[in-house]
Amino acid sequence: MERARIAELLAPFLQAPPGPPASLTEAQLGQVSAYLDLLLRWNARINLTAVRDPESMVTRHFGESFFAARQLLGSQESGVRSQVSLRALDLGSGAGFPGLPLKIFVPALALTLIESSQKKAAFLKEVVRRLALTGVDVFAGRAEDFPATADLVTLRAVERYERTLAMAARLVAPGGRLALLIGSAQAARTPKLLPDFAWPAPIAIPQASARVLLIGTNQEG
């Protein structure tokens, strides 16, 4: 897909309030284009996503992920993108969302993708290699076996939500954040499931029906 079309499709997610507007460089758009090509080819073999249309992939997966990146990591103008010390985990990464777009948005981010499916983990490693991303690890195992915590943990809507949410919370360092891309019904339940986190109001995702970004901060010292 042409970079100009990718930029057009992503614009509502990078510019919609709340938060300051942001944009991607030509190099970042090139990474998205290469990533999309890999996703289309691999998806025909191992069913990484039920979304088949390339433009829908851009809006549904990349758009939602870059929206989260802007909310969590700031705009280019804010200077937040230059932070080197931030450590992030993407739990149940699957096809790499939102973790890899966060890395594209903030190249200095130290990122680990946790994915128990060996086939999906192989795809993630190929994307990292093809996009020449540094500071990215793929943990091809279960979240229960991951030995560390992080400043930021991300999670998209998954099956067995309550169980997976508890695992994600365990991986958040004290004072760290847990970012959830979920349905509004799940968002309404989450503060009761994790009362040790501070939960501001969920943020509506552009072009999404009843999907939100919910960001909690771990208050345990």
Concatenating the DSSP letter of every residue in 153-166 gives EEEE--SSHHHHHH
SS3 18: coil
- For residue 136, name the pLDDT band (cuts at 50, 70, 90): very high
Q: pTM for the whole thing?
A: 0.94
- For residue 202, name the pLDDT band (cuts at 50, 70, 90): very high
Q: How far apart are CA 115 and CA 79, in angstroms?
A: 31
More confident residue, 81 or 148: 148
CATH number of 3-218: 3.40.50.150
- For residue 159, name the pLDDT band (cuts at 50, 70, 90): confident
Q: Are 203 and 212 in contact (CB under 8 A)?
A: yes
- What's the one-letter identity of residue 88? A
Q: How far apart are CA 161 and CA 177, in angstroms?
A: 18
Q: How far apart are CA 1 and CA 158, in angstroms?
A: 29
Q: Which of 63-77, 101-115, 188-202 has the lowest mean pLDDT?
A: 63-77
Q: What is the average pLDDT score of the chain? A: 93
For residue 197, give both structure tokens: 């986190």
Q: How far apart are CA 60 and CA 187, in angstroms?
A: 19
- Under 8 Å CB-to-CB from 21, ≥6 apart: which residues? 14, 15, 75
More confident residue, 74 or 192: 192
pLDDT at 84 (0 to 100): 52
- Under 8 Å CB-to-CB from 5, ≥6 apart: which residues? 55
Residue 207 reports pLDDT greater than 80: yes
Residue 99 reports pLDDT greater than 60: yes
SS3 120: helix
Residue-range domain boundaries for the chain = 3-218
Helices 184-193 and 161-170 pack at an angle, to 10 degrees, of: 50
Give burial (CB, 10 Å; 0-12/13-18/19+) of 215.
buried
Q: Supply φ then ψ for residue 5, to 5 degrees.
A: -70, -40
